[in-house]
Amino acid sequence: MRALVRTAAAAATALALLLTGCGGGDGVPDGRITLRFQSLAWQKESVDINKQLVKEWNAAHPDIRVEYVQGSWDSVHDQLLTSFEGGEAPDIIHDASDDLADFAYGGYLADLRPLLPKGLTDGIPRTSWDTATFDGGVYGVPFLQEPRVLIANTRILKASGVRIPTPGKPWSWAEFRQVTKKLTGKGRYGVAWPLKEPVSVTLNLGLSAGGQLFHRGADGKVTVAMGEGDQVVPGTIHDQVNTDHSAARTALGMGGGDTLPGFFGGKYAMVPLGFSYRQQVVEQAPKGFEWTVLPAPAGRDGLAQGVSPQTLSVAEDSPHKKEAVRFIDFLLRPANMVRLAKGDWMLPTGTEALADPSLHTADRGWATGAALAGSLRSAPAQSVRGYPEWKDKVATPALQEYYSGAIDAAELRKRLVTDGNRVLARYQR
């Protein structure tokens, strides 16, 4: 199918060139190249910055025009798959690293190794590149990352007398459980876990306790195995909900933003959220509401947590790969990366961009987030073929039932491991 699509696309391109008499470009008579850049920016500030950077590029490169295309996080995987199969994919693709594996292995994305300029390669740490590396090839440029943090009600914390954690001295998972019990009172829970999508939260925070879940053998095949470290985070959440009653059961079916009204109203003392949710807190919190950003709990591996950075990729079928990478290089210059990070309220991956003083202020928790950047690792499922199906059909329902108390730890293990390995095996034959 892929060969037929590429052959058809090549024939169409050749015919267009013959009809126009054009010796280059994309068929435009003046020879100007047009690149389609599909962005998933959705917050107004972020969309504005992306569009402004496109405008700046176009002003400086009249021979290589970039066309901004608005995409959506809600439908990007299916939309991209359809566009790849139809030979209509955008040249430059904004996505997240945990969505790239099947596209990379399927031959839909270009291996960027021979195209990336040295400055861009050297400017992003190896740990970030690992998130977009599959079978030795690099299929995306990781540029924005988001640690999970605790957003807490400052007044409740101070009144309780609990120790306030810092990145240098975080809470352990055991201490965190005790703290949430102490913060729980009449009409208030110590924590609200928004776990409508429980899998990435569980796996990524599990790295701090030494959890991995996915294990690659010498033959390259991946299997699921649940060790002691994999049980710390789900066990803590389960016990907070079902034993201590320090975590709100009703929050388990919520998305992150759904917990904010209760948080502002004093129903929850803390909410574990992605770093970018600070923007919603700033915009929605009632006047006078005091809040702070705390690091997530630490385990035997410290503050380590998995992340799936936002990425920029190039379609394999794009006839202008070099030009597409030139635009990516422009978009991710350190100063521009800072602009993109601040627009999305996230952290840049680039070393120089991350050192920008504006990202190290105490205001709105920027300094706490920046201090966590060195502990971010590739999410456990990054390169696992079949992960989307395992997540949707096996892990999501199993974890939802476990957190609600409907099944026990033994049944959770059976489903994640036994049922999970059946799913993964189909992708590795």
Q: How confident is the model at residue 381 (pLDDT cuts 50, 70, 90)?
A: confident
Q: What is the average pLDDT across 157-164?
A: 96
pLDDT digits (tens, 9 = 90+) for 233-285: 999 999 999 999 999 999 999 999 999 999 999 999 999 999 999 999 999 99
pLDDT confidence band for 35 (50 / 70 / 90): very high
Q: How confident is the model at residue 30 (pLDDT cuts 50, 70, 90)?
A: low
pLDDT at residue number 43? 86
Please tell me the predicted confidence (pLDDT) of residue 386: 87
What is the per-residue pLDDT across 347-379, written as a single tens digit (0 to 9) for each? 999 999 999 999 999 999 999 999 999 999 988
Instruction: Give the global pTM.
Output: 0.88
pLDDT at site 128: 95
Which residues, 6+ apart, have CB-to-CB distance to 214 below 8 Å?
Answer: 222, 223, 224, 380, 381, 384
The fraction of the chain above a pLDDT of 90, given in percent, is: 86
Where is average pLDDT lowest: 5-9, 143-147, 164-168, 227-231? 5-9
pLDDT at 24: 37
State mean pLDDT over 145-173. Answer: 97
The more confident residue out of 349 and 30 is 349
How much is the pLDDT for 383?
A: 80
Q: 76-126: per-residue pLDDT in tens?
A: 999 999 999 999 999 999 999 989 988 999 999 999 999 999 999 999 999
